[in-house]
């Protein structure tokens, strides 16, 4: 289970790095587009389409695994802050199973849409030409698959905690040691 955790951590790191690169490229392109629009009255064709279809999709769906890995989703602890670890693990298990079902639907619907758009070769008209956008459709199921794998891993960990009273996974910050194989928080 720890080997799977390390593998998923590496995928989380890779997806987060891709999302960070997409953000930097998007910032550069939008800045350059604005400057060229103001200074030369010649904006970059396709900036809006690239931002909407590639950069923003990567920024939204690829880092979802990071939130899931670190268990940093929004939680309301009003009623659970005084619960013991085992009952809380049971509640977390239920939450992970519900989230897994929801993400499963997201993956399924996203993959169907991506497949359909791949088959027709989806493009958007931008300025003087066409921009191929169908590859970006696959970012939704890719981010969802990583998220689902992590929800499943956490569900198993919560089940072990519920039954045995001990966690099988140690909480790890995926960015505490990029170069280490065995990281411990």
Q: What's the pLDDT score for residue 177? A: 52
Instruction: Kindly state whether residue 183 falls inside one of the protein's structural domains.
Output: no
The proportion of the chain whose per-residue pLDDT surpasses 90, expressed as a percent, equals 74
Higher per-residue confidence, 138 vs 46: 138
Predicted TM-score (pTM) of this structure:
0.85
Q: Lowest mean pLDDT: which of 25-34, 37-46, 73-82, 143-152?
A: 73-82
DSSP for the chain reads -HHHHHHHHHHHHHHHHHHHHHHHHHHHHHHHHHHHHHHHS-PPTTHHHHIIIIIHHHHHHTTHHHHHHTT-S----TTTTTS-HHHHHHHHHHHHHHHHHHHHHHHHHHHHHHHHHHHHT-EEEETTEEEE-GGGGGHHHHHHHHHHHHHHHHHHHHHHHHHHSS-SS----TTS-TT-SS---
Instruction: Kindly state whether residue 107 falls inside one of the protein's structural domains.
Output: yes
Instruction: Kindly state whether residue 179 falls inside one of the protein's structural domains.
Output: no
Give me the domain span that covers residue 149: 2-164
Instruction: Kindly state whether residue 62 falls inside one of the protein's structural domains.
Output: yes
* pLDDT tens track for 118-145: 999 999 998 778 999 999 999 999 999 9
The proportion of the chain whose per-residue pLDDT surpasses 70, expressed as a percent, equals 94
Q: What's the pLDDT score for residue 135? A: 97
Number of domains in the chain: 1
Instruction: Kindly state whether residue 95 falls inside one of the protein's structural domains.
Output: yes
């Amino acid at each position: 289970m720890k080997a799977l955790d390390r593998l998923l951590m590496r995928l989380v790191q890779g997806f987060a790095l891709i999302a960070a690169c997409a953000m930097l490229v998007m910032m550069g392109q939008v800045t350059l587009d604005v400057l060229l629009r103001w200074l030369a009255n010649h904006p970059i064709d396709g900036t809006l389409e690239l931002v909407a279809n590639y950069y923003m999709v990567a920024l939204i769906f690829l880092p979802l695994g990071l939130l899931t890995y670190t268990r940093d989703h929004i939680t309301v602890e009003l009623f659970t802050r005084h619960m013991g670890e085992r009952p809380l693990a049971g509640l977390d298990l239920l939450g992970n199973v519900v989230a897994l079902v929801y993400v499963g639907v997201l993956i399924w619907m996203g993959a169907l849409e991506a497949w359909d758009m791949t088959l027709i070769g989806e493009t958007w008209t931008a300025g003087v030409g066409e921009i191929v956008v169908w590859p970006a459709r696959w970012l939704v199921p890719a981010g969802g698959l990583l998220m689902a794998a992590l929800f499943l891993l956490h569900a198993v960990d919560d089940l072990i905690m519920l039954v045995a009273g001990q966690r099988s996974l140690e909480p790890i910050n995926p960015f505490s040691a990029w170069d280490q194989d065995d990281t411990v928080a």
